[in-house]
Structure 1
């Protein structure tokens, strides 16, 4: 159903659930032409080789298998279908409200490029509705773009770095109104409040991690910490990531291999509000192949992508990604099956947008959010988190934290507060080296460990409150 331009107060911005059609059997594709352009598909099952949706144009194809949406839809309908998935995820999970300020994490790759484009189009449509309405009661959410510069970790020639960042500025500036700012943030900025030589501090921290997978994971955590710091300092209250089905499927298997099964449900939901700035994944239902195809469609201005940082992959994450890619080639539905199966795990209480109690937010928006939010009996409560990766801790992880509660060394408390995966892959094996390693961590991570300890003590006191004697009671 489509809403009118000025009368809709539900923040749906024209929900196109009707655009989504039921899947059809796979079709055959013709070989690609020598020019490399996608070739039409002729198949009697698709109305004599016509698009499944519009029945007017010929389908496109990005692979020889011809089993994805690109093999069933023409260019226009293929793009409309992808945007429909994006918009349904946003509206159904109340990811963005009219009063929000949204920061899009932009790496220059296809996933983040499509996420930026779709968020922009939703904002542009909201701006048109705002301009067309008489009362102008529904404001337009703000959008910013953040690029985390990791050249301090993976050196890039200065000329290439400057050219890449300038290309990103051009992409952002070429988007139609409303204007958006591009924030280029060095990843070493997480040390900005505690060290005069931030790059040196970052180098010492990463060099102290000997495990290849642990070093990759630590870099991911530092990247998220940088995004959170940037969003908070610039007044953004939503963080959009371009994580798609393919990437989430790889994360499901790699997290399982690393023994992070308990915290896995926290990372794969549409919403993750355990952070100060909630993280949302509007492309969760889109495949990497689809996003790559969209970026190369000439009919849409060829969404330009920029690959500035090429990080070497030599650990578990790389092996799992290669394995999932092989599975996808054998059966195009494998990635979706992995994500759907993991999605049956019970989410945590923070896998929803916090309820809005601001009277300035339209009532329809608050009702819609309340409708789609998780109920208390549909989620798991977790009060403690790993100070390194911010994963929710299980009861077995908390046992080590409580046993170390009597230690006077902050490094011991920090180590005990980490999840088993971080203890195994990131922290030094030699206990005597932990204290030196602890000094290299950003204060944002260290303070999180202290906060967790305080919260654990408060939780323990609340649990035994009935057994404690008050000051006025006689001990006898």
Structure 2
């Protein structure tokens, strides 16, 4: 116990802080050049070996990418994705100790139109990245984000997944790959002809800006932009014949994403959003091999070994800490990490233990159990005594109008309900026998009317509902999303009409 009148005459012991003047903790000979964590001081050579080993060990431990597979690297120009590109290039070199055996390609999504960059700035950034990609010798694709407006509806439909190969076959696959002498050949080099820069169309850019500006908050804008980017990446991988999509999310980025996703109501999707592999799209599996690296490790490696990066502004560039939920979470984690160095690793280790609870459903209904935007399993089909239903009841009570009616729809949903009500009145007033008289081809008179604005509420998870609710109008969404929403609604209505003739899974 410390006493009030106690004197402290003995000299206090001073903590031995890590210093770069120490010897390397691995080789015990060379002086330390970098201190990653307290007590982890590495020399230049050991740090490079440690960095490379961690990347290849992550891929080898999971055994998801088999030899000969085509893998699309999503490179944004930032430190983490450029470091990932450098590791893949190093692993495919002839001098590599444990060579990587897949066939890589590169894709870069130009988001300058959504951020507000001029055409000259976008072309300058694309030229820098084009020179960087050409130096690797890998095939690459530079795509403007405006192409997301022309995607087909199949992007938001889960494709049939490729049967997973047992992990026991991985060793035999490697042996077969080596015996066929494919391990000694480099991936196909980039074609000699000059790859033209993407042509940016001004009308498409205006439509994209209208879509982003329709979101009222920066939080919704960032979430919407992330969803559109993921859709374009998956579509590019499918059309170019890639089976894996490699993302450059670091440990620090995933820790921020985990906390911000919880704040945005994406707790049910955390295992897919932060895990090593993500198979929500079926045929395209996303992997995150950089998830064991902190932002500090990546910055040291890029600085010490001259890994080129290209600075690309984003939506939250030069914004305040409280501009969005994502920006506030990032500021909180980075400031806490400065005082408590184990903050990021603790959050990251928590995300490793998360698993998605699978729901039993028939094969025909799996596509309707997926969110229309993020393609995750819907988390809104819960019991009456759940927190989600309590939130809906509170929302209904808070929006009671003076006439006693309630309104819980967004502006776009209100228009949809008004149109459907007018349609029902039209059919009822003319009588059932006269239904379809206005449409010469027969059928209901709804077919002669203009297409309705779809009701997206039932097709979205809770977090995506919050994002769409912040939009001024759902009509600004890309056409492939609206078309798929209408198709799902028609299928749902048809299923309700013939529900009494269908058999349950237990009755088959």
**TM (normalized to structure 1)?**
0.69
Question: Which is further off, 319-328 or 90-99?
Answer: 90-99
Q: CA 1:89 to 1:411, structure 2 compared with 1: closer, same or farther past 3 Å?
A: farther
Aligned mates of 1:74, 1:224 — CA distance in 2: 38
Tell me, in whole angstroms, the C-alpha distance in 2 between the residues paired with 1:469 and 1:331: 57
308-317 or 221-230: bigger deviation: 308-317
The aligned counterpart of 1:80 is: 49
Q: Does 1:309 align with 2:313?
A: yes
Question: How many Å separate the matches in 1 of 2:356 and 2:253?
Answer: 19
CA distance 1:445–1:78, change in 2 (3 Å)? farther
Unaligned runs of 5+ in 2: 1-14, 153-200, 360-365, 389-408, 410-415, 421-450
Q: Is it true that 1:324 corresponds to 2:328 in the alignment? A: no
Instruction: Say yes or no: does 1:287 pair with 2:286.
Output: no
Cα separation, 2, equivalents of 1:86 and 1:142: 17
Counterpart among 115, 130, 145 of residue 154 in structure 1: 115
Q: Distance in 2 between matches of 1:278 and 1:295?
A: 27
Q: Unmatched 5+ residue regions in structure 1?
A: 1-25, 31-40, 43-48, 131-138, 351-380, 471-476
CA drift at 1:150: 0.9
Question: Is structure 2 residue 52 aligned with structure 1 residue 94?
Answer: no
Summarize the alignment of residues 30-69 of structure 1 with structure 2, pairs less than 5 Å apart.
30=19, 41-42=20-21, 49-61=22-34, 67=37
Shift of 1:413: 3.5
How many residues are paired up? 373
Determine the C-alpha separation between the residues in 2 that align with 1:108 and 1:469. Answer: 54
Counterpart for residue 213 of structure 1:
219
Q: Which residue in the other structure is 1:419 paired with?
A: 461
List aligned pairs for 1:310-459, cutoff 5 A.
310-312=314-316, 313=319, 314-347=323-356, 384-396=369-381, 411-428=453-470, 437-449=473-485, 454=491
Between structure 1 and structure 2, the one with the greater Rg is 2
Question: Could you tell me which residue of structure 2 aligns to residue 192 of structure 1?
Answer: 150
Q: What's the CA shift for 1:442?
A: 2.1
Question: What does residue range 153-302 of structure 1 map to in structure 2 within 5 Å?
Answer: 153-175=114-136, 179-192=137-150, 197-275=203-281, 276-297=283-304, 300=305, 302=306
User: Among 90, 95, 101, which residue is 1:121 paired with?
Assistant: 90
Cα deviation for residue 239 of structure 1 reads 0.8
Contact 1:27-1:67 within 8 A present in 2 as well:
no
Cα root mean square deviation, aligned: 3.8
Give the secondary structure class of the aligned counterpart of 2:330.
Answer: helix
- CA distance in 2: counterparts of 1:230 and 1:422, whole angstroms: 23
Structure 1 contact 215–426 (Cα < 8 Å) conserved: no
